[in-house]
Amino acid sequence: MSQATLGDDDELFGEAANEMREDVEASLEKAWTALPDDDDIWETDADNVLGVLNGLNSALDAGDAEAHLRDAKKWFTMGKRADAFEDADDLEAEIADLETAIEDIAAAGEQVGVLTSTIPALRGTLEEAGPDESDAGE
């Protein structure tokens, strides 16, 4: 192989590495954007607890964030194994942060789901508990 060919290969590899990093960064940005907005999980217009819980349960949806995270991890893994990134620590840290955010959203969704099914039953139990109002006057 000639020196010119090797130089071209290095240049092509550098371009591919840059494109791979850009793909990882683009997928990460799409994933962050797909997460629920903080106001959507904080503010409510509901009139009762069940309405709040149902609204919160709907808001706690990571949407396409997991798919975008998977794309980012796929390209990151490929680039890291090919030793294509000069410095990948920032990407690795952002992937970890995003994974944590998605896991937290999923865990909160599970907890809200439990409450959503528990609260109506608890209300029924409390309505039935205590002295019978018709017996109060006797």
Look at residue 132 and give its three-state secondary structure.
Answer: coil
**Per-residue pLDDT, 85:** 86
Closest CA relative to residue 120, chosen from 51, 50, 63: 50
Burial of 53 (0-12, 13-18, 19+ CB in 10 A): buried
Q: pTM of this prediction?
A: 0.81
C-alpha distances out from residue 66 to 72, 73, 105, Å: 10, 10, 11
Please, what are the averages of pLDDT over each run of 10 residues along the chain (138 residues)?
A: 61 88 96 95 92 94 95 95 89 97 96 94 90 63
**Per-residue pLDDT, 10:** 83
Quick one: which H or E segment has residue 127? helix 89-128
Q: Tokens in use for 45?
A: 């217009």
CA distance 98 to 104: 10
